[in-house]
Homo-oligomer: A and B are copies of this chain.
Amino acid sequence: MRLRVDPLPTEELVYPDVVLVVDVIRSTTTAVALLEAGAEALYWVADLEAARAFKDADVLLAGEAGGLKPPGFDLGNSPREALEAPVGGRIVVMSTTNGTRAAHAAAKTAKHVLLASLYNAHAAARKALELATEEVAILCAGKEGRAGLDDLYTAGVLAEYLGLLREVEPEDGARIALALKRAYPDPLEALGLSAAAQALKGVGLEADVPFCAQVAKSPLIPLLSGRVGEALIFKGSLPGQS
């Protein structure tokens, strides 16, 4: 099984098989937390306006502008808040910038797209191997075209666990991610140093970082199951569930 890690989405990437999309601070962590809280489906859209276009009585809007909940939205982008939110059986439209862009880049060519974070790392790795026939790729969202320490570290955690489950052939990006993972034994240290964590501190949301740094706390994996217009629809799946 080929094991591939891309630190950033770029136009020319082609994915033949399974992609794990990582935006650990915070959108892929929040996505898992929303499923834990009982959300029926997640619609990933690229901006706040696209989210507002979905607004109706049965739909909740989640997102951020400068880290905070935008006007008219039901939820911000905090996984702590998501876990406690009254989302049972409902569709949550999530507006994310870097996360959606990465997911769209993956969905252009991949057979299966999953959302991965540290929070669901082991389940996501298992699911990826169940679905893959030749390659598991991990695509980091990064931040406005720049690589994120937090995302690439998470890719390293995923890569290491994938290597425990199955014999893998790591390419360049996977070796980079594995080296990074091994350089920081404490996930909270790695995530805390990232630009994404520093930005949260700037808006008083630094308590989200320890949440995002928890490893393998959820068995749920958001799996791409369709589209509505430009929105990507993710539904919850579990390892071992077809």
Contacts and interface: CB of A to CB of B under 8 A. Distances in A.
Interface of A: 5-8, 10-13, 143-150, 152, 171-173, 175-176, 179-180, 182-184, 193-195
Q: Give the 3 A-B CB pairs with smallest separation, nearest first.
A: A179-B183, A149-B172, A12-B145
Given A7-B176, A172-B194, A172-B195, 19 more contacts: A5-B147, A6-B146, A6-B147, A7-B8, A7-B147, A10-B145, A11-B145, A146-B173, A147-B172, A149-B172, A149-B175, A150-B172, A152-B172, A152-B176, A175-B193, A176-B176, A179-B180, A180-B180, A182-B183
Given A8-B8, A10-B8, A171 B184 contact: no
Contacts of A144: 12
A227 to B, nearest CB: 24
A12 B195 CA distance: 17
Most buried by B among A6, A11, A175, A184: A175
12 contacts: A5-B147, A7-B7, A7-B176, A10-B10, A146-B171, A146-B173, A147-B173, A147-B176, A149-B173, A149-B175, A152-B176, A172-B194
Contacts of A148: 172
Contacts of A150: 172
A144 B7 CA distance: 13
A145 B145 CA distance: 12
A138 to B, nearest CB: 12
Contacts of A184: 179
A113 B174 CA distance: 29
